[in-house]
Amino acid sequence: MNHKTDPIYQQLRARAAEEKLTQIDTIVDPSIPTVELLHELQAHHIELEMQNEELRRVQAELEKVRDRYSDLYEFSPVGYLTLTDDGTIIEVNFTGENLLGTVRKKLLNRRFARFISPEDNDIWYNHLARIKQGDCLCNKHHCELNIIRADGTTFYALLECLPIRADDEKSVLRVALSDITELKNTREALVEARNQADMANASKSEFLINMSHEMRTPLNTIIGTSYLFRRTDFTEKQETFLNNIDYAAHFLLDLINPVLDLAQIEAGQLTLDTELFSLDTLLGDVTRLLEIKAAQKGNEIIFSVASSLPKRLIGDAIHLAQILTNLIGNALKFIENGQVVITVESENSTPHDVSLRFSVQDNGSGMTENQIANLFDASPQISSINSKKQSGLGLGLKISKQLIELMGGHISVESTLGQGSLFTFTVNLGVDTESHIIDTVKLNHGSQSVGEHLLGSPSKCANLIGRRVLLVEDNEINRELTAALLTELGVMVETAVNGLDGVERVKSEPFDLVLMDIQMPIMDGLTATQELRTDPCFVHLPIIAMSANGTEKDKEKSLAAGLNDYLIKPVYPQKLAEKLNFWLHPDAPVVIN
C-alpha cells in the first residue's frame, strides 16, 4: 500500500496544510510505518506542550519578581534618581517624587540643580566635578546639602552617587536621595550637648583652680606667720597652739592639692616633664617623706629594688614620686604595726627605654570585690567608717591612675578582705646612656605632707647676705610676710605694690633678683616681666614668679613671658632659700629670654 494513500498520512497532510508546513514530505521518512510515526509526533507534541507550560510558569514568576522589585524600587525609603552627565533627571522612583514634592512627569528632563538650595550649588557642582574626574572611593561619592521641594519647603539631604555606563554606552549617574534632617538635628544637638558638657567641665576645672588660688593665698600667710612666730621666744602652751595651726594648715593644703591635680588633668593642662633623675634618690626621698607618718602607727616601709635596673632614668620624676607617695600613703592609712613592701622590677627594656613595674603590698584590712570595682573613682574613703578615721578626699588613687596612664602604663589591684592589698603599676621611662652625675631629685610638687618639715629653719647663706631683692606683691600681708622671710635669709629686700611699680623700681635702682607676683592690679606680673625683657639691661636679670596658681599652664605662661623660675604659694622658707641660692650663685645659669 502506498503510504501517500494511507488515511493517517492524509490527516497529517491536512494538518500540515493548516500549519503551513510545506516540507511534510521531506521530514517524513517513507520507511517508517505510519502508526509509529504518528506516535512519535504525538510524543513530541506533548513534550512541546509541557515546555510551553513551563515557559508560561517561569514568565509568570518573572512577572511577580519584576512587580516585587518594582515595588521595592518605587516605595524604597530612599529616593532613586538617574541623571545624565550634565545633571538632567531621566528616571525617578515614587519616593523621589515625594521627596522632591512633585509628580514624575514634571521631574523628568529637568536639571536636578533646580532643587538644590542656592547656597549649596557650589557643593553640588564641585561634587559632580570630582565624580567626573574619578576622585571617588570605589567610584562612589556622597555629599550633604539642602534641597528645596516644589512647594518651597526644604530638607537636609544625603546624596550617594554612583556613575555607571548605560545600555547605549552613555555615562549616567545613579543617585540615592535621603532625608537626613532629623539625623542632622540630632547630630547638632549632640554636638551642642557635648560642647555644653565641655564648657561645664572647663568651668568646673576653672572654678577648682581659682578656688585653689584663693585658698593658697591665705594659707601662705598662715604658714609663713607660724614659721616667723617660731623664730621668736614662745611658751610651751604657745608651741601647742602653733603645732595645731601648722597641722590644720597642712591638712587643708593636702585637701587642696589633689583637687588641683584632678582639675588640671581633666582640663588637659597637666603635662609631663622630661628630666634626668636617679631612681635610688627618688625612692629615698619618698621614704623620708613618709617615714614619720609610718612610725606614728608602728608601720615599716620596705623597698626591694632589682639590682639590674638602670640607675639613671629620664622621665617625670616628680609625678612618679607623687604616684608612689599616694599609693604608699594610702596603704599606711589602713594598717597598724604592719609593713608596706615596695618592689621595683623591669618588665621589658631596650638600651634606651625601660618599662618599670612597681608593686606596693600591705598586710592591712584589705577590700571586697565591690570596693575594688569603685576604687579608682573620685569618691571618698573605702568605707564610711574608715573615712571618719582617715583624712583626705580619696582622690589620690584616681589621680595616680590618670598619671600612670599619661606615662604610658597601667595599674591593677588585688586584695583579700582582712589580709591586705597589692597594687601593681607600670610606667615607661627613658634610660640615660651618658655619664651624668645626679645628686638629688627635688620633689617640688605642691603636695607637702605634715611630716615633711619644710618649715625647717634655713640658715643664712653667705651667697645671699647683702644681695638686693625686689619683692613685687600686691597683698599687703603677704608682702610683709615674704619680706620678713627674705630678711631672715640675709638679703636686702625692697617692695613694690604692683607690676607697674615694680618696673619703675627696677629701672631706677639696681637689683640682683626680682620676686614677681602674677595676679596684680594696674599691671600683672607677666606684663611687667615682658616690659623689662624688652630692655637689654634687664635681659639677664633673674625674675622668679611667685603665685598661688600652680597649674602647668600657668607655669608655661610664666616661662614664655620671660620669667626664669616659678614658686607656688604657700612659699616655704626652705624652698625660697633654695631658689634664691640657685639664681644668685656665681655659677647660676644665664637664661636668655
- Which three cell numbers mark 312? 639613671
For 463-483, write each residue's pLDDT tens digit.
Answer: 788 899 999 999 888 898 899
The C-alpha atoms of residue 127 and residue 495 are separated, in whole angstroms, by 68
Confidence of residue 564 (pLDDT cuts 50, 70, 90): very high
The C-alpha atoms of residue 399 and residue 260 are separated, in whole angstroms, by 10
Mean pLDDT across the stretch 231-260?
80
Higher pLDDT, 159 or 261: 159
Grid cell 529637568 is found at: 110
3-class DSSP state of 469: strand
Classify 162 in phi/psi space as left (phi over 0), alpha (psi -120 to 50) or beta: beta
Tally of residues, the chain: 593
Classify 542 in phi/psi space as left (phi over 0), alpha (psi -120 to 50) or beta: beta
pLDDT at 69: 82
pLDDT at 451: 31
Higher pLDDT, 481 or 34: 481
- Res. 505: pLDDT tops 70: yes
- Res. 575: pLDDT tops 60: yes
What percent of the chain is modeled with pLDDT above 70?
82
Asked if 273 and 320 count as a contact pair (C-beta separation under 8 A), the reply is: no
Q: What residue type is assigned to position 164 of the chain?
A: I
* Neighbouring C-alpha atoms within 13 Å toward the C-beta of 57: 6
As a 3-state breakdown, the chain gives helix, strand, coil percent values, each rounded to 5, of 50, 20, 30
Mean pLDDT across the stretch 285-301?
86
pTM, 2 dp = 0.51
Average pLDDT, the chain: 81
- In terms of Cα–Cα distance, which of 572, 565, 520 is closest to 544? 565
Cα angle 241-244-247, degrees, rounded to a multiple of 5: 150
The C-alpha atoms of residue 376 and residue 255 are separated, in whole angstroms, by 17
Whether the link from the prior residue into 33 is cis, omega within 30° of 0, is no
The C-alpha atoms of residue 218 and residue 470 are separated, in whole angstroms, by 22
- Res. 181: pLDDT tops 60: yes
Confidence of residue 147 (pLDDT cuts 50, 70, 90): very high
The C-alpha atoms of residue 270 and residue 52 are separated, in whole angstroms, by 83
Higher pLDDT, 336 or 47: 336
**DSSP state, 388?**
H
CA dihedral 241, 250, 480, 213 (to 10 degrees): -140
3-class secondary structure per residue, 427-454? EEEEECCCCCCCCCCCCCCCCCCHHHCC
Higher pLDDT, 259 or 152: 152
The C-alpha atoms of residue 64 and residue 66 are separated, in whole angstroms, by 5
For 515-546, write each residue's pLDDT tens digit.
Answer: 999 989 999 999 999 999 999 999 999 999 99
For 54-79, write each residue's pLDDT tens digit.
Answer: 888 888 888 888 878 888 888 888 99
Confidence of residue 392 (pLDDT cuts 50, 70, 90): very low
pLDDT at 380: 43
3-class DSSP state of 15: helix
pLDDT at 588: 53
Question: How many C-beta atoms surround the C-beta of residue 579 within 10 A?
Answer: 21
Q: What are phi and psi of 473, to 5 degrees?
A: -150, 125
- Res. 34: pLDDT tops 80: no
List 314's β-bridge partners, or say none: 276, 430
Q: Which of 32-41, 161-170, 179-188, 242-251 has the lowest mean pLDDT?
A: 32-41
**DSSP state, 460?**
P
- Res. 126: pLDDT tops 80: yes
Asked if 421 and 543 count as a contact pair (C-beta separation under 8 A), the reply is: no
Mean pLDDT across the stretch 323-346?
90
The beta strands (E) that lie in 104-170 are given as 141-148, 154-165
